[in-house]
Amino acid sequence: MESLIMLVVFVVGLGLMALNARNIKRKWESWPTVDEYMNKYNPSKGRGISCCKCGSHQIWESGFEKDGSDMRIHFCKQCKTYLYRTSR
Ligand SMILES: [Zn+2]
């Protein structure tokens, strides 16, 4: 009986983890890709990507939701606006 409970807890836990991962991915995918961002905000190529809010060229990158994530999000260091996503 106890092992059955453990199994149920385990399966439910796995389900929640998968659900959570899917939600994070969906949230990440709501940001534009770098190409979409460039087309929308930086149509003049060659000058580098800049922030669509403050115009800063200081754009930093981090993992989305957690540091080591392959889902990367790029943000303006100056005004802390999230700008676009890339994956690695
Ligand atoms: Zn900015």
Residues bordering ligand 1, an ion, CB closer than 5 Å: 51, 53-54, 56, 76, 78-79
Helices (H), the chain: 2-29, 34-41
Contacts of 29 (CB under 8 A, 6+ apart): 85
Percent of the chain scoring above 70 in pLDDT: 97
Distance from the alpha carbon of residue 77 to the mean position of ligand 1, in angstroms:
7
pLDDT in tens, 1-35: 789 999 999 999 999 999 999 999 999 999 999 99
Distance from the alpha carbon of residue 62 to the mean position of ligand 1, in angstroms:
16
Task: Return d(Cα 78, Cα 81) in angstroms, integer.
Answer: 8
Which pTM does this prediction carry?
Answer: 0.80
- Going from N- to C-terminal start, the domains of the chain cover 2-87
